[in-house]
Amino acid sequence: MDWFNQQIAQPDPVYYKKALQRQRLLTKPPGSLGKLEDLAARLAAMQGTETPSLERVRISVFAADHGISEEEVSAFPRSVTVEMVRNFSEGGAAINVLARQIDAGLEIIDAGIHRSLGLDNVIESRAGNGTDNFLKGDAMTGDQLKNAMDAGKKAVERAMLQQAQLMIGGEMGIGNTTSATAMLSALTGIDASEITGAGTGLDGRGILRKTEVIHRALHKHRLNPDNPLGILKCLGGFEIAALTGLYIQAAIQRMPVLVDGFIASVASMLAVKINSRVLPWLFYAHRSDEKGHQTVLDYLGVEPILNLQMRLGEGSGAAVAVPVLTAACALHNEMATFSQAGVSSGSG
């Protein structure tokens, strides 16, 4: 897994500065477009251009099963993962609708659901038949971790072939909020009771049970917060590992990424812990309504674009945020400057 340690270039500060200079010349009061101005400037720096563009967006949704679902930590049974993958393949899920709406390329990857479906329009990049129950041992082996992260790396390579200008990683897997919450607690030392949420719709009693399962797992493994790969191996999911690999490889390839909600953000946190130079290549799409998400955003020191109280996953929140980034680019590129429009640029 040496590719994790490849040199990651940073977004070009020259183009960032040029973009901000252009913003000051546009026919508007300085700073009046708020966050849109910085979003356009950041994208210009990432793309190394004075005219940032988002004409080609690629969405990769990874699906996998979790052994921890045996502990009744979800409102839905494990079989829903397979059923949702079929729904993705038939174009009926939220992310299918949103991908069509924003004209994005969409691929579905089986990163390790409990049985292969053999669907023509689902990419098989399987690390196993779901993870093991991390209350009983490690969620995955070292080889499985490598294979799962490689699934994310390969998704970036496919996006590069399509000349994508922005990537979104989505996830699906019953039990994965339990995995993500356990890893967040292991990484930060924050007690699970403070960050465990409803996931797929647990009631108060179910959340208490989920919290207790996480407590028991963390007591069993006693993980080092400075060993993100060890935490991922012990507590993670194949789809979360794939997202972690995607973020690292995207940064290596200078590919901007729009990070989705809670689970995707925990994966990004792992990626940043593995290689801190990943962070400047990530936009954060929205603040999920899942309880622990704000903790992740605060830890990383980032501010999301939207807050719509979403907690669906699949990359859905990120897809909803794409038009905001597109609007930022259009305003940056197409607005007239004061001199072009013959408008006075005086203050007041």
Q: Which helix (H) or strand (E) holds 167?
A: strand 166-172
CB atoms under 10 Å from CB of 153, counted, come to: 20
CB contact at 8 A, 169 and 263: no
Q: Tokens standing for 267?
A: 């994966």
* Partner residues linked to 172 by β-bridges: 63
Please give the Cα distance from 345 to 42 (Å, whole number): 25
CB contact at 8 A, 71 and 199: no
Please give the Cα distance from 168 to 146 (Å, whole number): 21
AA identity, residue 318: A
- Find, among 313, 254, 268, 257, the residue nearest to 289 by Cα: 313
CA 231 to chain centre: 18
Q: Tokens standing for 168?
A: 């979104």
The dihedrals phi and psi of 117, each to the nearest 5 degrees, come to -95, -20
Give 69's contacts (C-beta < 8 A, 6+ positions apart): 77, 78, 174, 175, 178
Establish whether 314 is a catalytic residue. yes
- Find, among 233, 40, 62, the residue nearest to 137 by Cα: 233
AA identity, residue 242: A
What is each CA distance from 149 to 105, 125, 196, 242, 300, in whole angstroms? 21, 10, 25, 4, 21
- Find, among 153, 209, 144, 148, the residue nearest to 181 by Cα: 209
First to last CA, the chain: 57
User: Catalytic one among 37, 303, 314, 334?
Assistant: 314
Which residues does the annotation mark as catalytic? 314
